[in-house]
Amino acid sequence: MESDGQGVARLPVYRAALPLLRDLWVLAKARVVSLLVFTAAVGELLAPATFTHWPAALAGLVGIALAGGAGGVLNQIVEPALDQHMRRTHGRPLANGRIGRSGAIVYALVLMSLAIAILSIWTNPLTLVLTLLGTVGYGVVYTLYLKPSTPWNIVWGGLAGALPPLIGWTAVTGQLAALPLVLVALIFVWTPAHFWPLAIYCRRDYAQACIPMLPVTHGVDRTRREVVRYALATWAVSM
């Protein structure tokens, strides 16, 4: 009977923790990070002797996931006011105040520290440097400078999201090669073609938030033409 009572007592605590865990999941942009991990895994599987070096391969995936989560948190730390103006993002934890800025900063530091430790111990310096470049490229360069200043933000900012196949490859091999660079180029040209249709759909929100996305600054027709161009470029690179 005592154990049953303890179980009942713990149940409200468990339920109370679920909203926080859900907010931490959203704050780290876990759905986006899952795509980064997937493309990194592709890079690892294409690398020679992946299964021989499986500890480094696994550490690479975990490190990318943690660093990608830190980048997602940094993105939301910088722009909660912008997120409040958009239907797609106004429910994010920082935007509506469910998590405070200081708590988010601590969360980002923990994620990034774990990523650096894991990559430093089980992979190699090149993988660590590339991961740091990707995180800073998205969380700082794209969010702070590119996104609010140029309609071509997603083109140049997309490079950070294109790096995981190369990072996965280097986690296993410790060196650069042509094949993962082709995958980087493929994701780089695919990203605008993938993102701009969403930007067209959300263009009024972007305009209200004063974010110079291409549909806001150049119109829907021009954006559609650019989507076609980048889709064709994606096809060309894939050949």
User: 2 pLDDT band (50/70/90 cuts)?
Assistant: very low
CATH number of the domain where residue 61 is located: 1.10.357.140
Between 8-17, 34-43, 102-111, 176-185, the lowest mean confidence (pLDDT) is in 8-17
Q: Nearest-5° angle of CA 66, CA 62, CA 185? A: 85
pLDDT of 10 > 70? The answer is no
Within a domain: residue 29? yes
The per-residue pLDDT for range 189-227, each reduced to its tens digit, is 999 999 999 999 999 999 988 999 999 999 999 999 999
3-state class (DSSP) for residue 53: coil
Within a domain: residue 155? yes
Within a domain: residue 143? yes
The per-residue pLDDT for range 144-184, each reduced to its tens digit, is 999 999 999 999 999 999 999 999 999 999 999 999 999 99
Within a domain: residue 160? yes
pLDDT of 84 > 90? The answer is no
Within a domain: residue 218? no
> By C-alpha distance, which of 133, 197, 198 is closest to 162?
133
CB atoms within 10 A of CB 1: 5
Within a domain: residue 226? no
Domain that holds residue 151: 18-176
User: Which residue shows structure tokens 């660590």?
Assistant: 128
Please report the pLDDT score of residue 12 as a whole number.
66
pLDDT of 125 > 90? The answer is yes
CB atoms within 10 A of CB 6: 10
Within a domain: residue 148? yes
Q: Report the domain count for the chain.
A: 1
pTM of the model: 0.90
